[in-house]
């Protein structure tokens, strides 16, 4: 009987310890960097952002507010012009002809593709006709010993760190 009482006391103590641990972990679960001393970098990337109540005004620029847009580059300085000219009328589907003196303009900016420069080093070894010694030229200064150079290493490090 005494052994059963001792086991019951042990189970109760274990149960209380586990309940306290669950309570502590649940409190930690609700701590975020917005309302605790946790660093913002400790928040997981998929953590939900708190929603602000929607205001009365619609999104975007309000009526009467002056717009802020990037000025268009003059047509003479553009690399390529694509004319999107309609062929048929939207209403009757008849053929269209003529020109628009002031067409609507839109410009898109894109980075040119980067093509890596590949340098092939050939390192022949020659045999001396006089003594039979095999010789190679010394490795030049600044030539990488591996397959990629310092700029490739820096770019990979930058992309990995981001």
Helix-then-strand count for the chain, H and E: 2, 2
Q: pLDDT per position in the chain (162 positions), as tens?
A: 788 888 888 999 999 999 999 998 888 777 777 777 777 777 666 656 667 777 788 888 888 888 888 899 999 999 999 999 999 999 999 999 999 999 999 999 999 898 988 888 898 999 999 999 999 999 888 888 888 888 888 989 998 876
Return contacts of 74-82, CB within 8 angstroms, 24+ apart.
78/107
Instruction: Indicate the pTM of the whole model.
Output: 0.41
- Tell me phi and psi for residue 13, to 5 degrees: -65, -40
Give the pLDDT of residue 59.
Answer: 83
Q: How far apart are CA 138 and CA 127, in angstroms?
A: 15
Give the pLDDT of residue 86.
Answer: 92
> Residues 6 or more apart from 145 whose CB is under 8 A from it?
139
Q: Which H or E run includes 14? A: helix 2-29
């Amino acid at each position: 009987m005494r052994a059963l009482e001792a086991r019951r006391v042990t189970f109760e103590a274990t149960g209380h310890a586990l309940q306290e641990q669950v309570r502590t972990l649940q409190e930690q679960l609700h701590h975020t960097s917005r309302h605790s001393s946790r660093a913002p970098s400790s928040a997981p990337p998929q953590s939900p952002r708190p929603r602000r109540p929607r205001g009365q005004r619609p999104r975007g620029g309000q009526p009467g507010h002056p717009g802020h847009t990037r000025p268009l580059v003059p047509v003479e300085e553009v690399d390529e012009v694509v004319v999107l000219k309609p062929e048929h009328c939207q209403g009757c589907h008849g053929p269209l002809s003529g020109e628009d003196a002031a067409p609507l303009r839109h410009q898109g900016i894109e980075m040119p593709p980067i093509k890596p420069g590949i340098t092939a080093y050939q390192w022949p070894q020659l045999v001396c006709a006089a003594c039979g010694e095999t010789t190679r030229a010394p490795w030049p200064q600044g030539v990488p010993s591996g397959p990629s150079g310092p700029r490739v290493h820096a770019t990979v490090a930058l992309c990995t760190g981001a």
